[in-house]
Chains A and B, each alone.
Chain A
Amino acid sequence: MLQLSNISFSYINRPVLQNVSCEFTLGKIIGVVGENGTGKSTLLKLITGILRPTKGDITLDGKRVTRTTAANIAFLPDIDLFYEFYTVEQLFRFYETQFADFSYEKASIVGEFLQIERGRKLRQLSKGQRGRVKMAATLGREVPFYVMDEPFAGLDPMVKDSLIKGLIRFTDMETQTIILSTHELYEVEPILDEVLLLQGGRIVAHEQLEVIRDEHNQDAVQWMKALHKERMN
């Protein structure tokens, strides 16, 4: 279990997250949603140990998350951090040298499923192809936690569809958890177990989708808008 207790984070004097507490249990897909600039990316970077909280603790199975314990967490960043001159093939080989838990075989299988051309250089790839490569490289790691920052942003519906299917196909809900931020809540909702709504650096709600639909009689987008409106008044 991944646990955040009273996390605050500031860049110099600008507070980004305030008093954030929540838990992520194994075997779930959790969507982190909220407006731009509300702290989603910062939250994900704290979870992966890339940033350190100004206050509070983040623990994974009771152990404090640092860059090294974050070895159990695979991160898909929202920007391209790849070497442009690598081919996809070389990138997979590079990942193999960087992460002990990276399976070249699995990345290749995911790559095939997502129809990635492995011989092409990254700089020659379209945005959609890059999105696929990032997904394959991330899922190539065999880890309990996948943290994905906007894995579907700016991609056309066909690419989104195939990434979503890849995500379902190549993760194991008995042993793994996926935390992903998204602005495409309507399209992503069918694969989510829980939604975490951030606003102004705080958690406004953390709810199970079945509860949203069963008890509030709303879909995730309506639920989010209603909460948002409530907070604005």
Chain B
Amino acid sequence: MTDFTRDKPIYSQLVDRICGDIIKGHLRLGDKLPSVREYAVQSGVNVNTVQRVYKELELMQLTETKRGQGTFITSDEQRLDELRNSMKEQLAESFLASIASFGFTKEEMLQLLQQKE
């Protein structure tokens, strides 16, 4: 069973998780996803929630449903690059927003980041 944070709907947390798995390579292009029910049992959520997750992934063009065969991760490499870029973009945006909320500048943070390794 998996833990969920409070701030976001469960379906979107699962979408994020699958995107993360694709980016990290735990899920490869063309891989078959488990059936809706199987994934629901694995992650301990409602079947309706997983259906929504699969629908969102399809809308994001990250998956393709082949009739009678199931749902597969896209085999389009360009789509994977776009996903990586948009995820980086999102992370950068939220990082900038949080340093701004503390009044830190980008420059001082960059300096720190460089030292960090």
Q: Do A and B bind each other?
A: yes
Give the interface of A toward B (CB within 8 A).
Answer: 27-29, 161, 164-165, 168-169, 173, 189-193, 209-210, 213-214, 217-219, 222
Chain A nearest CB: distance from B34 CB in Å? 12
Stretch at the interface among B19-27, B38-46, B91-99, B108-116: B38-46
Q: Does B10 contact A (CB under 8 A)?
A: yes
Indicate if B79 sits at the interface (CB-CB under 8 A).
no
CB distance B46 to A191 under 8 Å? yes
Taken together as a complex, chains A and B put the C-alpha atoms of A27 and B49 apart, in Å, by 12
| Partner-A contacts on B (CB < 8 A) | 1-2, 4, 6-11, 37, 40-41, 43-49
Is A29's CB under 8 angstroms from B46's CB? yes
Q: Which residues of B contact A173 (CB under 8 A)?
A: 46-48
Q: Is the CB of A190 within 8 A of B44?
A: yes
**A168:B7 contact, CB within 8 angstroms:** no
Cβ–Cβ contact B9 & A214, under 8 A: yes
Q: Are A27 and B48 in contact (CB under 8 A)?
A: yes
Q: Which residue of A lies closest to B46 (CB)?
A: A191
Asked whether B44 lies within 8 Å of A161 as measured between CB atoms, the reply is yes
Task: For the complex, give the distance between the alpha carbons of A144 and B46 in Å.
Answer: 17
Kindly state the separation between the CA atoms of A96 and B47 in the bound complex, as whole angstroms: 28
Q: List 28 A-B contacts (CB under 8 A).
A: A27-B48, A29-B46, A29-B48, A161-B1, A161-B44, A164-B1, A165-B1, A168-B37, A168-B45, A168-B47, A169-B37, A169-B41, A173-B46, A173-B47, A173-B48, A190-B2, A190-B45, A190-B46, A191-B44, A191-B45, A192-B46, A193-B48, A210-B11, A213-B7, A213-B10, A214-B9, A217-B7, A218-B6
- Chain B neighbourhood of A189, CB < 8 A: 4, 10
Give the complex CA separation of A179 and B88 in angstroms.
42
B6 & A222 in contact (Cβ 8 Å cutoff): yes
> Across the interface, do A168 and B41 meet the contact criterion of CB distance under 8 Å?
yes
Q: Once the chains are docked, how many angstroms separate the CA of A207 from the CA of B85? A: 37
Nearest CB of chain A from residue B54's CB, rounded to whole Å: 14
Contacts of A222 in B (CB 8 A): 6
**Contacts of A191 on B, CB cut-off 8 Å?**
44-46
B44/A213 in contact, CB under 8 A: no
Residue of B nearest to A171 (CB): B47
Kindly state the separation between the CA atoms of A222 and B4 in the bound complex, as whole angstroms. 14
3 closest Cβ pairs, A-B complex: A219-B6, A213-B9, A190-B45
Query: Looking across the interface, which residue of chain A has its beta carbon closest to that of B6?
Result: A219
Shortest A210–chain B CB gap in Å is 5
For residue A27, which residues in chain B have a CB less than 8 angstroms away from its CB? 48
Output the nearest chain B residue to A210 by Cβ-Cβ distance.
B9
Establish whether residues A28 and B44, one from each chain, have CB atoms under 8 Å apart when the complex forms.
no
Closest to A161 in B: B1
Residues of B near A28 (CB, < 8 A) are 48
**B117 → A minimal CB distance (Å):** 36
Give the docked Cα–Cα distance between A15 and B47 (Å): 37
Cross-interface CB contact of A168 among B9, B10, B46, cutoff 8 Å: B46
**Residue on A nearest B11 in the bound complex, by CB:** A210
For A28, A29, A219, the residue with the greatest tally of chain B CB atoms inside 10 Å of its CB is: A219
Query: A210–B14 Cα gap in the complex (Å)?
Result: 13
Q: Which of A29, A165, A214, A217 is close to B44, meaning CB atoms less than 8 Å apart?
A: A165
Cα–Cα distance between A214 and B49 once the two chains are bound (Å)? 14
